Amino acid sequence: MSNEGSLLRLFNYEGFTLEMLLEYLYKREEDGVISFLINKLYDYPACDIEFYIPQIVNMYFYKPKCGEIERLLLRNSIDSHAFALTLHHNLSAFAEDCNPELKEKAQSFIENLDMTIVNAALPKQTSERPPPHFYNLVSDFTELDGFNRKTIRSQYYTYQLKMINLLCKISVGLNQIPLEERDEKLKFWLESVEDTLSDTRKKYRNHPEPVRRLFRGPIINFKFHNLEDKDEMQIVRIHNQKSMCFCTKARVPYKIVYETISLKEEGINDSNSVHVINDEAIEEMNTVDVEQINKLVHKETRFEGYNEYVEEAEKNPDERPSPRLSLNDNTLSSSESVWGESWEDMEKKIRESSPWGKYSTWKIRGLIVKGLDDLRQEYLAMQFIMKMKKIFEEALLSIYLRSYEIEIISNYMGMIEYIPNTLSLHSIKKTYKNYSTLQNFFIENWPNTYEEAQRNFIQSMAGYSLACYVLNIKDRHNANILLDSLGHIIHIDFGFFLIISPGGNIGFESAPFKLTGEMIEVMGGIDGEMFGYFKILLLQGFLELRKHADELLLILKMMGPGNNLPCLREFERAENELRERLRLTYTDEKCFQFIEDLVNAAQNNWRTLKYDDFQYLTNGIL
């Protein structure tokens, strides 16, 4: 009894965090404790729980006695339509490739969610009042009867899913378009999506004002990490001429640029404009056979010949990397900025000519849309990075990480926040006039603010070095590392981390993180004061991460048994190795020497250089 009383006092303690609650929910097996903790989750806002949706959904399906979680998630879906969309996408992805014995349960959950979204009530519950409009739009309850209000909710929810699906199917369909025709086909398809936006506005222009405003544009529930959006933002215009394909050997992701305004702002703009929907284009997109195209695409073509290359490299570790013959094959004149037009300048120009530019909440946004790509693993990596970023910020450490939003749409489609004012190291080496070294690039591009840019570089190098080491992130070639216009390094594309690596997990990239001679030179050289600053940041950050080891491990543990993610296929190994990398048994003094050892192992590591060499020889990545 005393033990139960102690638990109850702990659970009701005001400092009992959401992470602590989830930790206990994950560990405990008693019916009463599990039920109490699930009920306790109702005390937390939907926006906090939304971060852990993949983990909570996973626990619902795999942990016994957690059936009450469904009601909790449905209740939050009534309170927050943004939460409902995220839950829908995660459940859809889970249902596509879960164990057969769980598929019926997953489909039933999705059906209950759809009913809950439309009715704004839990399944089998009725309400005398009609459901409210989505996003708490203010309206007179007498303007529509309950049936019509439900119809509007159903139509808008269907519209949201349709537009999201169309955008993702474009990426899939582009795989079947010849390389030289892809950009034009992308613009053609996006123009038809833009026409659909306008046509939908016309269909609802005679409805009451809240309905007209709702159908002004779809809301895709995407939170941009560099923008402090307090309102729901609607897509009102797509710029197909600013969009472009990123062609890889296996997939065709693309960048889409679009205008948004807040749902709270009143007014409809283009009710009199003429937009004729191209039915042929819409039909093309709708009939994209995702399953068939997925079978035809060879996703591992990027690593063809990798195992043979590694075998030869192991025999000749002292062999010099291949000469970068295309370094002088650049397209940028000396008078042009390597960064091109800034996002802010582009935004200003577009706003001046846009019919929507008069709205105070108007913004330009960019997404990377990915088809034939399961982003659940990428999302998991970003959860870790977001948690690390929060840990560093709360400890007031000068360590930089740039988180970005990732939205899972299904087990083969998703969207990623576009990071403006950045270029990959590969692009810089390829296009910058007379590129010689990264250090010279810094000197020439930041002649008046070099020290600030150098400091930004070091602080971000510390952040991503720790992230790459702790999470065992691999495939760190120069197309997966960005540099922004302030000098920060930003890592992207986390397809290989924890227990998986390129080439069938042969583990050739054994360095704890990427630290090439060029990077060291920008930081002032191994014996320089600023390189010492880099190592101090590494130590400070590592010690702080160890203090929050339980929070980091919780993100992983709640994803067990990890059936759907390659990085968790050997779940116990993934968990044990993550814990081991945190060196929780070390004293602070021993950690000091450990960081020195990590830096020594990483600096100019021959395997890092050889991996870059392979990417250059096979994919042309500089």
- What digits encode the pLDDT tens for the residues 54-66? 999 999 999 988 9
Cα–Cα distance, 534 to 523 (Å, whole number): 8
**What is the rounded average pLDDT of the residues 199-219?**
90
Higher-confidence position of 499 and 305: 499
Gyration radius from the chain CA atoms: 26
From the options 1.20.1250, 3.40.50, 1.25.40, 1.10.3470, give the CATH code of 2-119. 1.25.40
pLDDT tens track for 224-265: 887 777 788 999 999 988 999 987 767 889 999 999 999 998
**Which tokens in the block code for residue 209?**
């004002």
Mean pLDDT score, 316-345: 64
Strand order in the sheet with 254-262: 233-245, 254-262, 363-371, 413-417, 406-408
Looking up tokens 């130590």 gives: 539
Task: Say if residue 31's pLDDT is above 50.
Answer: yes
What are the CA-CA distances from residue 85 to residues 91, 162, 383, 410 (Å)?
A: 10, 12, 18, 12
Tokens coding 349: 């120009």
Q: Which CATH class is domain 301-329+421-619?
A: mainly alpha
User: Do 617 and 304 meet the contact criterion of CB atoms below 8 Å apart?
Assistant: no
Checking if the pLDDT of 297 tops 90, the result is no
Please tell me the distance from the alpha carbon of residue 222 to that of residue 89, in angstroms, as a whole number. Answer: 13
pTM over 0.75: yes
Burial per residue of 446-461, b for 16 or more beta-carbon CB atoms within 10 angstroms, e otherwise: beeebeebbbbbbbbb
- For residue 432, pLDDT over 60 is answered with yes
- The string of DSSP codes covering 88-119 is HHHHHHHHHHS-HHHHHHHHHHHHHHHHHHHH
Poorest-confidence range of 212-216, 287-291, 343-347, 584-588? 287-291
Averaged pLDDT of the chain: 87
The mean pLDDT of 422-437, rounded to a whole number, is: 90
260: which strand partners? 235, 363
Phi (first) and psi of residue 365, to 5 degrees: -135, 160
How many H-runs (helices) and E-runs (strands) does the chain carry?
Answer: 26, 8
Q: What is the end-to-end Cα distance of the chain in Å, rounded?
A: 66
Alpha-carbon gap, residue 291 to 443, rounded angstroms: 50
The secondary structure of 139-189 as a DSSP string is --TTSS-HHHHHHHHHHHHHHHHHHHHHHHHHHHHGGGS-GGGHHHHHHHH
Whether 289 shows a pLDDT value over 90: the answer reads no
Pick 144-297+337-420's CATH classification: 1.10.533.10, 2.70.98.10, 3.30.1010.10, 3.50.50.60: 3.30.1010.10
- The residue among 332, 343, 337, 336 whose CA lies nearest residue 421 is 343
**Helices (H), ranges, 287-399:** 290-296, 306-315, 343-353, 376-394
Which tokens sit at 466?
Answer: 């720790």
Q: Provide the percentage of residues in the chain whose pLDDT is more than 90.
A: 60
Number of residues that this document lists for the chain:
622
Instruction: Check: CB of residue 218 under 8 Å from CB of residue 160.
Output: yes
Same fold, 144-297+337-420 and 301-329+421-619: no
Question: Are the C-beta atoms of 62 and 80 separated by less than 8 Å?
Answer: no
490-523 pLDDT per residue, tens: 999 998 999 998 877 667 888 999 999 999 999 9
- Note whether 132 and 120 are within 8 A (CB): yes
pLDDT band (50, 70, 90) for residue 10: confident
- For 28, residues 6+ apart whose C-beta sits below 8 A from its C-beta are 34, 37
Quick one: pLDDT at residue 318?
66
Between the ranges 86-90, 141-145, 222-226, 228-232, where is the mean pLDDT highest?
Answer: 86-90
550-555-559 Cα angle (round to 5): 130
| H helix or E strand, kind and range, residue 518 | helix 517-522
- What band does 13 get if pLDDT is binned at 50, 70 and 90? confident
All residues at 6 or more sequence positions from 61 whose CB lies less than 8 Å from its CB, including other chains: 94, 98, 102, 105, 106
Using DSSP's 3-state secondary structure scheme, residue 368 falls into strand
Contact residues for 563 (Cβ-Cβ < 8 A; gap 6+)? 98, 99, 569
3-state secondary structure of 202: helix
The Cα–Cα gap between 525 and 250 comes to 39
Higher model confidence: residue 333 or residue 230?
A: 230
* DSSP collapsed to 3 states, 581-596: HCCCCCCHHHHHHHHH
* CA atoms of 555 and 390, how far apart (whole Å): 14
Which pLDDT band, with edges at 50, 70 and 90, does 335 fall under? very low
pLDDT at residue 271 in the model: 47
pLDDT band at 301 (very low <50, low <70, confident <90, very high): low
What would the DSSP string read from start to end of 17-82?
-HHHHHHHHHH---HHHHHHHHHHGGGS-HHHHHTTHHHHHHHHHHSTT-THHHHHHHHHHHH-HH
Instruction: Report whether pLDDT(299) > 60.
Output: no
Q: For residue 326, what pLDDT is reported?
A: 47
Domain boundary assignment for the chain:
2-119, 144-297+337-420, 301-329+421-619
| Confidence (pLDDT) at 292 | 56
| Nearest residue to 480 (alpha-carbon basis) of 533, 426, 554 | 426
Which amino acid, one-letter code, is at 52? Y
Q: Which of the residue ranges 43-47, 126-130, 582-586 would you say has the lowest mean pLDDT?
A: 126-130
Mean pLDDT calculated for residue range 68-97: 94
Contact 503, 536 (CB under 8 A): no
DSSP state letters, 387-406:
HHHHHHHHTT---------E
